[in-house]
Amino acid sequence: MSKKMHIKLKVNGKDEEFLAEPRELLIYTLRERLNITGPHIGCETSHCGACTVTINGKSVKSCTMFAAQADGAEVTTIEGIGGPDNLHPLQEAFREHHGLQCGYCTPGMITRASKLLEENPNPTEEEIRFGMAGNICRCTGYQNIVKSIQAAATEMNAAKEAAE
Amino acid sequence: MIPVAFEYYRPKDMAGVLSLLEEHGDDARVMAGGHSLIPMMKLRMADVSHLIDLQDVDGMSEIEIDNDAIRIGAMVTQADIIDHPELAKVAPILREAALQIADPQVRYMGTVGGNVANGDPGNDMPGLMQCLDANFTVIGPDDEREIPARDFYEAAYMTAREDEEVLTAVTIPRPAGGYAYEKQKRKIGDYATAAAAVQIVKDGDKCASASIAMTNLSDTPIYSEAAGAALVGTSVDDAALTAAVAAMWGDIDPTEDNRGPVAFKNHVAGIILRRAIERAWSRA
Ligand SMILES: Cc1cc2nc3c(=O)[nH]c(=O)nc-3n(C[C@H](O)[C@H](O)[C@H](O)COP(=O)(O)OP(=O)(O)OC[C@H]3O[C@@H](n4cnc5c(N)ncnc54)[C@H](O)[C@@H]3O)c2cc1C
Ligand code: FES
Ligand code: FES
């Protein structure tokens, strides 16, 4: 066993501090240490995107980053995006347009989609498919995921306009 | 999938990195984006006792463009390349290739330095850099040196970089003419079954020069001088394309794996190269 490291993270706006071995992968820190179980483990081999979180403004597969690498970073998981009492427009749209079936991929999908819409508030279908290519879904066939993201984009843009 | 235990370091400067590499020798490895190294550590195919994270070392995240050359810091990510409008104008092949690497999450993390230093024949940037005649700058305990991309790759995961050296930048002469990066893969996010990087200069209606490199068709990237030479002086007609493909076949040495048997790979390599040349020529 190697020396434990003192690691600080800000997760969904809350400061967290703990001691961990350098080999601890961020997904385990989130799920098992901090009990933030929204990000899922689908493949554990960097392919499926179920573990996607946002780290310092980038979509990252948290199964492919050590907690030590994220030391000092801001992390957002699906829990930080919205919850049962305050659904994010993406969550609302996935529910409305059947963007999920089993739901296993959904936290990663929505976390990635939130970043995609931040970078490109008006994506075409092709841009959505390309921008979501790191997230795999075994159920939906993607059609309704694309629809959900389009609907959320429309909704978010309308809300932004109304606010201006 | 948890790697073997290791010590983790995040030095603030290159001197710190180099002294750790000297102290721990073979047992130490630098890490950039970690998106090749961490999967290998998780599979326990890479055994690293001392992991040196480069993320806090300054001076390796810049893209500098001057009249003759483009200098890309080793820690520039694939996403940085895609999002750099001036680079896309000056060397559009870099963006075209970066968009075909992995998926968005991986491209935020994967770096140019890691991609070219890794030595995996599946990586796309080594062939790309050979096509562009790039130089890699590496720094060691005593000095800094330049290694041409075309001399860098010795075998799978074996490169001209010494263990105690760090790759700091990739320098490319400003490319001229038409370009194409063409890649055949089984699915988005996959490594190439075959990929071709092509830069072509046109003079009147003849090809004045052509540079061609192939990816994942040998245990190293393949710069095919003969394939380029087959196009020079021609109008890049069907006969020239056939000659270039035949010359390329003479240089590659694919092996059978889960992407298919040798005959299939040769077939795909031929199609991909043809498409790449045609597209590059149409843009020349
Ligand atoms: C799902 C998935 C799909 C992918 N698909 C593709 C693909 O289609 N095409 C492709 O090209 N790549 C692909 N990759 C690999 C990805 O692009 C890697 O990120 C990249 O190859 C390595 O960059 P890195 O910064 O992550 O390097 P790391 O993983 O940090 O390092 C890789 C190796 O290079 C060494 N190294 C890193 N930086 C330096 C340096 N500055 N000096 C000396 N040595 C250094 C490390 O010690 C290590 O041995 C994929 C990865 C994943 C997870
Ligand atoms: S669990 Fe991380 S990518 Fe699949
Ligand atoms: S809804 Fe089941 S994996 Fe996507």
Alpha-carbon distance of B37 to B114, in angstroms, equals 9
Please tell me the predicted confidence (pLDDT) of residue A1: 60
Atom of ligand 2 nearest to the CA of A44: 1
A14, A40: one domain: yes
**Judgement on whether residues A61 and A115 belong to the same structural domain of the protein:** no
Looking from the CA of residue B29, the nearest atom of ligand 1 is: 47
Q: What is the CATH number of the domain that holds A101?
A: 1.10.150.120
Residues in chain B within 8 Å Cβ distance of A23: 2-6, 41
Domain termination residue (choose one: B158, B173, B188): B173
Which residue, A54, A81, A108, sits at the end of a domain?
A81
What distance in angstroms lies between residue A100's CA and the mean position of ligand 3's atoms? 6
Element (H, E) at B237: none
Kindly give the number of the ligand 1 atom that is closest to the alpha carbon of B77: 25
Q: Are residues B88 and B169 in the same domain?
A: yes
* B231: Cβ contacts below 8 Å, ≥ 6 apart: B200, B207, B210, B240, B243, B244, B277
Residue A44 sits in a domain whose CATH number is: 3.10.20.30
CA B19: distance to chain centroid?
27
* Chain-chain contact of B109 with A65 (C-beta, under 8 angstroms): yes
Strand order in the sheet with A58-61: A14-20, A5-11, A74-76, A52-55, A58-61
> Are A73 and A99 part of one and the same domain?
no
The domain boundary residue, chosen from A43, A59, A81: A81
Domain around A70: 5-81
Q: Which domain holds residue B33?
A: 7-53
Which of B18, B37, B118 to mutate for ligand 1's pocket (most ligand atoms within 8 Å of CB)?
B118
- Please check whether residues B204 and B119 belong to one and the same domain: no
Q: Do residues A96 and A51 both lie within one domain?
A: no
Predicted local distance difference test score (pLDDT) of residue B6: 97
List of chain B residues whose C-beta atoms are within 8 Å of the C-beta of residue A133 = 103-104, 188-189
Task: Show the low-confidence residues of chain A (pLDDT under 70).
Answer: 1
Per the structure, the count of domains in chain A is 2
Nearest-by-CA chain A residue for B39: A45
CB pairs under 8 A between A and B: 80
Determine the residue type at B75.
Answer: M
Domain boundary among B146, B173, B200: B173
pLDDT in tens, B37-85: 999 999 999 989 999 999 999 999 999 999 999 999 999 999 999 999 9
pLDDT attached to residue B93: 98
- Centre of ligand 3 from the C-alpha of residue B58, in Å: 41
Establish if B1 belongs to a structural domain: no
User: What pLDDT is attached to residue B254?
Assistant: 98
Domain co-membership, B200 together with B167: no
Find chain A residues with C-beta within 8 A of B79's C-beta: 58
Question: Which of B138, B173, B208 finishes a domain?
Answer: B173
Task: Please tell me the predicted confidence (pLDDT) of residue B188.
Answer: 86
Best residue in B50, B83, B103 for a mutation probing chain A (most A CBs within 10 Å): B103
Cross-strand pairs, B173: B69
Q: Does any domain span residue B77?
A: yes
Predicted confidence (pLDDT) per residue in B10-19, tens digit: 999 999 999 9
Reported pTM = 0.97
User: Is B210 part of any domain?
Assistant: yes
Give me the number of domains chain B comprises.
3
Residue B58 lies in a domain: no
For residue B25, give how far its alpha carbon lies from the nearest alpha carbon of chain A (Å). Answer: 18
| Bridge partners, residue B139, by sequence | B144, B166
Tell me whether residues B105 and A23 touch, CB distance under 8 A: no
Domain stop point among A81, A97, A123:
A81
- Both B139 and B196 in one domain: the answer is no
A142 and A94 share one domain: yes
Ligand 3 centroid–CA B103 distance in Å is 19
Neighbour-count burial of A157, counting CB atoms closer than 10 A to its CB (0-12 exposed, 13-18 middle, 19+ buried): middle
Q: Whose CA is nearest to atom 20 of ligand 1?
A: B115
Low-confidence residues of chain B, pLDDT below 50?
none
Do B95 and B36 reside in the same domain of the chain?
no
Question: CATH number of the domain that B258 lies in?
Answer: 3.30.390.50
Do B194 and B278 sit in the same domain of this protein? yes
Residues B92, B133 within the same domain: yes
Same domain, B166 and B249: no
Looking at the fold, whether A34 and A65 belong to one and the same domain comes out as: yes
Specify whether B205 is located in the same domain as B250.
Answer: yes
